[in-house]
Structure 1
Amino acid sequence: MQDTPILSSEPQIQDFYEIQKTVDVARRRIDQDIERLEGAIRALKSRRNSLAGISRFPTEILSRIFICCAATCERGEPAQLTMDWVKVTHVSRHWRTVAIGCPRLWTTLVFTQPRWVEEMLKRSKMAPLVIDARVGSKSTEAVQLAMDHISRVRELSIVCPSASSLGKLFSSVPRAAPMLQILVLSTTINYYADPFRDKYSIPTELFSDDSSQLRRLELIHCNLDWTSHLLKGLTHLKIHDTAPGTRPSTSLFLDVLEQLPTLTVLDLKDALPSDGSSTVSHQRNVKLRSLTNLHLSDPGSDCANALRHLSVPSSATLKLSCHIVVSDADLSSILTFVSGLWESAAIVSSAAKPYKCPIRSLRIRGFGSPALGLQAWPTVLSFQALSGNPDPPPFIDLCFQWPSGITLGIWDKIIGGACAVLPLEQLASLDFVSAIRQMPEQMLLRRFGKLAHLRSIRASGLAIHMLLSAMIAEPSTATSTNVSANLSTQKLSHNREEMPPAVFFPSLLHLIIEETNFDSSCNGEYAELEDLKACLMERYERKAEVRKLTLSRCRRLRTEHVDELRELVVNVVWDGLETGFTNF
């Protein structure tokens, strides 16, 4: 058998490489054609996009739109700041070019993404910067990089975990901040848990070369020398939680305020002078004519000492939190200041009598600790939890605390005294929050019972027996007898021949009851419910009926109970919750 000759494989391999080269050339040509066609498509899309109305906007208008978009995303706490607005650079080539060429778009640095800080510093060019940072282990380097540009920083807000970390951050900062308008420094240490923890002391040389544009200064857990150059030209001053040894004297405190004629906000907590027995004359008075907000939180004696020397416009919002109020003199000074809010801007009428801005809504709040609060509004509020609308900030907000061993007469002294100096003649809405049980009944009647415009009362948080008793008290006998006996002695009297006597709260139309246990005796007698029904019937017979009754989050109240109340009141609003019952 003749052997078959073995063919060489080299020609086959060579043919394979030739074929592969041909395929590669063909693929490259196809890729080039694809790239050319894709380029043509992109060009066509660009031409098409250019016909859209938004693409024909001038660059200046488009830039402003981008800036507004970024501002919307930048609202909120520093820890939540995002760069969602950067997506505008991904929409089109034109938008990207406009966005990158707009320095103002990159001025609010986002430290939640530290890698972006250096790029934003470049793109912002020389535009004024906003540094709002909560310093942590991942962002320290980025914040320090941004601080090197302090010469063009407009707003600087830094929150550090400790005084030492804040000190390191400012150790090498340039001394000139010619564009700085807002400075906010804070540490997050819980000084209530550790009150002896060192607070950051602002260096005297901080921005000492130039801080002439500074208008807003906020310091929390920081100590400041009150002779500092930073306390000049301010319109907004907020200092919270300073060390006792760093607080100013009364004289220095007043000197600083006299040099701030345009101050609009003064917010001090644990920062007031504590030398109430100083030699400063009581006649020395600083008029803060531009002030719109005055917030003080300190011991009652320190608040009283400061208020003795201050005058503010009647339009200013006042918020006082006075700890440990004991002295009658201190309380008198505080209430005299509150009263002066109206007297300082009295408008002389045609009858030559001063006009006071009336209070239309008032809330009295009792707290679990020995404390109480009073809030007032110049507008009529509904005070209804069912409405779901939060109340606007009050323009008078007072909070008083006292030692736990002192209780006798404290409500009459503080709330009675405060209500005596407030213009309540036009009061239309009254709100008691966990306050009915502590309030003396005679004081309730004396301060509110005869108000001609009071149409709405809300009671929330505690039993309402005393309020119901006051609502049917007889003005002719209330001052000489125990009003709390009214509900037991003034039961339904359908066969009265004499003229029904007058009642307190003569204009009351709407009663709101919240978070009340209608079986407070816990023995199935429904004492609160029976008292309420007796009160409503009594007022109806005296021609002072309640037209609307709102019941919210009340315990041990059933549908049949509400049906009984609907027979006595024209309009009963109930949330339908049946709670407080035990199912066996």
Structure 2
Amino acid sequence: MVPTSIDIIPTRGGTTLVEQCRTDIDKDIAALLASLTVLRSRRNTLASIFSLPPEILVTIFTYIVEEENSKNYTGIPPRGGAPTPMKVTHICRHWRQVALECPSLWTFIDCLSARWVAIMLERSKEAALVVMYSAPDNHCTVEPLMQLLSQLHRIKVLKMGSFSIDVDRIVDCLSSQPAPLLQIFKYRILESYDPIFSIRPLSNTIFQGCAPLLRSVELVECAFILTSDIFSRLRTLTLKQIENFPHPTLSQLLFTLKRMPDLELLTLELPSRIPENTEHFDQVPLTRLRSIALGVCTIRTAASLFSHLVLPGDASIALYLEEIESLQSFSDIFSAIYKDPESFPIIRSLGAIFSDDTFIVQFSTSLAFKSEYSWNNRNGDIRLFINFRYASNPAIIFDICRMIPHRKIQSLSVSTSLDLSQNFWRAGFADLPELESIHLSTTLIAGFILAFLTVGVSIAHPLLRALELENIDIGCNELEGLRDVARMRAKGGVDIHRLGLTDCRNVMEWNVQLLKKVVADVDWDGYEETLMDSDGGCVCPTCLDEDSSADAHSED
């Protein structure tokens, strides 16, 4: 090295010496940086986390990858984004080596970039794959999907979506080799209508007739008929069609179901008009079925389908129906469903959620309150769930109740924005004589109170012991009305033992203290909110109703 004490004065004659010095200094800097990197690496190896065995690190990495995948995956893979496992490879060399030597970290593939697909396939070695693919909006090439399907022999979960123009090519690829590890298969056509797309069978050529572990199939807007024997072992089947898409006839659908005796979960979303032609079709026994969801279809189509199905008595049923015309419609479909009423379990609770024209009615074997706006086949307690359009009397829910076999309704929950009249509640008095608890949510209670005050306690649910009010605007004097109801029932020997008040407006501490004089257990959450406008006027339901009546009288 040139001594630092030597002063170097750049001149034309000394240019070569200066450049040489700079080169030597750069080399020394590089050497020092390399030494510093080595020292930092050696120091990092003394950290506690480096004492973890690779097996523990792999467990941590696997948790990170699974958590990130479950949190971020929405059905649309990232556009060329880096796979989740790449994050742990950018921490240090040790972590990178551990991650690269763990093929299972690289088995969840949901990226579109051909580059990342190739890397994931290489690093996953021969481990079983989970593949998620949804074609981009710009109709670009499906080559990344073709890359993935070339590994069909080691895919255990395959969920994909493509445009109808690529269906033939994809089906050919799915038929090019067996799928010995495939357990779950989902395919969605991303276009609403293609005039050249027609009904086609998925015959024994699919997966070359070899998919022994296949147990779950979901086809969305796919005009396929499942004729292959490989579908005979299915436990879960989901078929969702739209109006403008070609769809199988009811006979073709029944023929498909007849080949699947082990089905446990069945979801069918059929168009409103579907060719039937089932006059000579035999019964289809589905003896292991735990739940069936049917929608959105006419009640006639539903009745026709159920008339040919033989279901276990404890199967859960969900119906999403178009607008019905009369109560007789339900009589027809229930006759088709409950061929053996004696096998139906005892129904203990009725839940109703409705607006002006849309009703959700659910019947459960459990007494626990459950307000569910959509069907969940994992909730085995709800044995019948009906969503339908009806613009007439809300008391139809009690008419439907009378048609349910083995009913012993002890719990009722009602959630609606409608102002239910006393006639509605009186209909419930007649049809629910064994009722023990009522849960009301987001509704008005004036008609409820009036109905109880104007009939004898022996008629108005004589076994009623619990009342729950949730998220309700309580009018002036309505808590006093509830106290009168409780006092009247107590005199008749049918006390209300418990009153719950949750998120209710216009409830004050002094109201609650008065209620506690006639109800043993008043469970109030302490929420105090008055219903006043900006001018200090009361806008509770009672006062608003009085103002409306006064305005109408003055106009007269």
Scaled to the shorter chain, the TM-score interval is: 0.7 to 0.9
Aligned to 1:212: 210
> 1:478 matched to which residue of 2?
none
Higher mean C-alpha deviation, range 16-25 or range 256-265 = 16-25
Aligned-residue offset at 1:329: 6.7
Structure 1 residue 577 and structure 2 residue 498: aligned? no
Q: Could you tell me which residue of structure 2 aligns to residue 66 of structure 1?
A: 61
Superposed CA RMSD:
4.1
Establish whether residue 120 from structure 1 lines up as the match of residue 120 from structure 2.
yes
Q: 1:357 to 1:278 in 2, by over 3 A?
A: closer
How far is the alpha carbon of 1:141 from its aligned partner? Answer: 4.9
Distance of aligned partners of 1:51 and 1:215 in 2 relative to their CA distance in 1, 3 Å threshold? closer
Larger Rg: 1
Q: Find the counterpart in structure 2 of residue 464 from structure 1.
A: 445
Alignment of 1:362 onto 2:350: yes
Give the deviation of 1:62 after TM superposition: 4.7
Whether 2:40 is the aligned partner of 1:25: answer no
1:107 aligns with 2:112: no
SS class of match (1:576): coil
Distance 1:73 1:153 in 2: 21
Shift of 1:260: 0.8
Q: Percent identity at matched positions?
A: 20
Contact persistence 1:508–1:546 (CA under 8 A): yes
The within-5 A match list for 1:390-401 is 395-399=382-386, 401=388
Q: 2:483 aligns with which of 516, 528, 533?
A: 533
- Describe the shift of the 1:53–1:429 C-alpha distance in structure 2 as closer, same or farther (beyond 3 A): farther
- Cα distance 1:240–1:22, how it changes in 2: closer, same or farther (>3 A)? closer
Residue aligning to 1:310: 309
Q: 1:277 to 1:33 in 2, by over 3 A?
A: closer
- 2:539 — aligned with what? none
The 3-state SS of whatever aligns with 2:444 is coil
SS of equivalent residue, structure 1 residue 254 = helix
Q: CA deviation at 1:340?
A: 5.7
User: Which of 473, 493, 496 lines up with 1:543 in the alignment?
Assistant: 493
How much has 1:444 moved relative to structure 2?
0.7
Q: Secondary structure at 1:398's aligned position in 2? A: strand
Q: Please give the residue correspondences for 1:306-345 in structure 2 after superposition, counting only pairs within 5 Å.
A: 306-326=305-325, 331-336=330-335, 339=338, 343-344=342-343
For residues 37 and 464 of structure 1, what CA distance do their matches in structure 2 show?
A: 77
CA gap of 1:232–1:256, structure 2 versus 1, over 3 A, is same
Query: CA-to-partner distance for each residue in 1:237-294, whole Å, 9 max, x for gaps?
Result: 111124588544444433322221221111101169945674236xx43221221221
Q: Tell me, in whole angstroms, the C-alpha distance in 1 between the residues paired with 2:143 and 2:258.
A: 41
User: Partner of 1:376: helix, strand, or coil?
Assistant: strand
Pairwise CA distance, 1:103? 2.3
With over 3 angstroms needed to count, the CA separation of the structure-2 counterparts of 1:382 and 1:580, relative to structure 1, is farther
Tell me what 1:350 maps to: none
Contact 1:294/1:319 (<8 A) preserved: yes
Cα distance in 2 between the residues matched to 1:74 and 1:11? 61
Is the partner of 2:109 in helix, strand or coil? coil
SS of the residue corresponding to residue 41 of structure 2 reads: helix
Please give the alpha-carbon distance, in whole angstroms, between the structure 2 residues aligned to 1:402 and 1:25.
86
CA shift digits 1:509-567 (9 cap, x unpaired): 32122454444xxxxxx464453332122123223232333334555556665554454
What pairs with 1:497-536 in structure 2 (closer than 5 Å)? 502=458, 504-519=460-475, 526=476, 528-536=478-486
Runs of 4+ in structure 1 off by over 6 angstroms are none
Given residue 445 of structure 1, which amino acid in structure 2 is its aligned partner?
A: F
SS of alignment partner, residue 335 of structure 1: helix
Give 1:446's aligned residue.
430
The 1-side partners of 2:217 and 2:190 are apart by: 18
Q: How does 1:43-54 map to 2 (within 5 A)?
A: 43=42, 45-46=44-45, 48=46, 52-54=50-52
Change (3 A) 1:580 1:546: farther
1:471-495 per-residue CA deviation (whole Å, 9 max, x = no partner) reads: 45xxxxxxxxxxxx44xxx8xxxxx
Partners of 2:250 and 2:171 in 1: CA distance: 30
Cα distance per residue 1:95-135 (max 9 Å; x no partner): 32232122222122132666422211222233333221232
Aligned 8 A contact 1:263 1:288 in 2: yes
Offset, 1:300: 0.7
1:18-62 CA-to-partner distances (Å, cap 9, x unmatched) read 35534643552453255245425534644x3699542x345xx65
Q: 1:556 to 1:80 in 2, by over 3 A?
A: farther
Alignment of 1:165-244 (within 5 A): 175-179=176-180, 180-187=182-189, 201=198, 203-204=200-201, 208=206, 210-213=208-211, 214-225=214-225, 227=227, 231-242=231-242
Q: Which runs of 5+ in 1 are unaligned?
A: 1-8, 345-355, 386-390, 473-484, 491-500, 520-525
Contact 1:436 1:459 in 2 (8 A): no
Residues of 2 paired with 1:261 and 1:278: CA distance? 19
TM-score of the superposition, structure 2-length normalised?
Answer: 0.76
Which of these residues, 364, 375, 379, is aligned with residue 377 of structure 1? Answer: 364
Deviations 1:442-470 (A, max 9, x none): 4311222334xx2x211234333443344
Between the aligned partners of 2:337 and 2:200, the Cα distance in structure 1 is: 37
Return closer, same or farther for 1:372/1:567 CA change in 2, 3 Å cut-off.
same
> How far apart, in 2, do the equivalents of 1:392 and 1:339 lie?
20
Contact 2:201/2:226 (8 A) holds in 1 = no
Amino acid at match of 2:263: L
- Write the distance in 1 (CA, Å) between the matches of 2:349 and 2:429: 17
Deviation at 1:69, TM superposition (A): 3.0
Is structure 2 residue 406 aligned with structure 1 residue 423? yes
TM-score between the two structures when normalised by the length of structure 1: 0.73
Task: State how far apart, in whole Å, the 2-side matches of 1:517 and 1:311 are.
Answer: 47
Q: Deviations over 1:303-335 (max 9, x none)?
A: 111112222234432211232444777533432
The Cα of 1:431 is off from its aligned counterpart by 0.1
| Amino acid aligned to 2:133 | A
1:280 to 1:557, Cα distance in 2 relative to 1, 3 A: farther
Question: For residue 545 of structure 2, what is the aligned residue in structure 1?
Answer: none
| 2:75 alignment counterpart | 78
1:299 CA displacement = 1.0
Question: What amino acid is the match of 1:331?
Answer: F
SS at match of 1:296: strand
**Does the C-alpha gap of structure 1 residues 582 and 339 become closer, same or farther in structure 2, counting only changes over 3 Å?**
farther
Offset from partner CA, 1:337-362 (integer Å, 9 cap, x none): 55568733xxxxxxxxxxx6433432
Q: Would you say the 8 A contact 2:200–2:223 is kept in 1?
A: no
Q: Is the 8 A contact 1:185 1:218 kept in 2?
A: yes
The question of whether the paired residues in 1 share the 8 Å contact of 2:349 and 2:366 is answered with yes
Structure 1 residues 31 and 220 mapped into 2: Cα distance closer, same or farther (>3 Å)?
A: closer
Does the 8 Å contact 2:425/2:447 carry over to 1?
yes
Alignment partner, residue 498 of structure 1: none
Residues 471 and 503, structure 1, Cα contact 8 Å, conserved in 2: no
One-letter code of the match for 2:430? Answer: R
Q: 2:29 and 2:172 mapped to 1: Cα distance?
A: 62
CA distance, structure 1, for counterparts of residue 177 and residue 160 of structure 2? 18
**SS of equivalent residue, structure 1 residue 126:** coil
Conservation of the 8 A alpha-carbon contact between 1:250 and 1:273: no
- Asked if 1 retains the 8 angstrom alpha-carbon contact of 2:223 and 2:248, the reply is no
